[in-house]
Amino acid sequence: MKPPIDATQFGSITLGGAVYDHDVLVCPDATVKRRKKKLSKAVYGTSHTISLAEAKYVYHQGEGAETLIIGAGQYGRVELSPEAAEYLERKRCDVVLLPTPEVIATWNKAKGKVIGLFHVTC
Give the residue extent of every domain in the chain.
5-119
pLDDT digits (tens, 9 = 90+) for 11-70: 999 999 999 999 999 999 999 999 999 999 999 999 999 999 999 999 999 888 999 999
Task: Measure the CA–CA gap between 36 and 26, rounded to whole angstroms.
Answer: 12
Q: Residue 8 CB: number of other CB atoms within 10 A?
A: 23
Cross-strand pairs, 114 = 67
pTM for the structure as a whole: 0.96
Q: Does the domain made of 5-119 have the CATH classification 3.40.1230.10?
A: yes
- Angle formed at CA 120 by CA 75 and CA 108, multiple of 5 degrees: 95
Identify the band that residue 115 occupies on the pLDDT scale cut at 50, 70 and 90.
Answer: very high
Q: What percent of the chain has pLDDT over 90?
A: 95
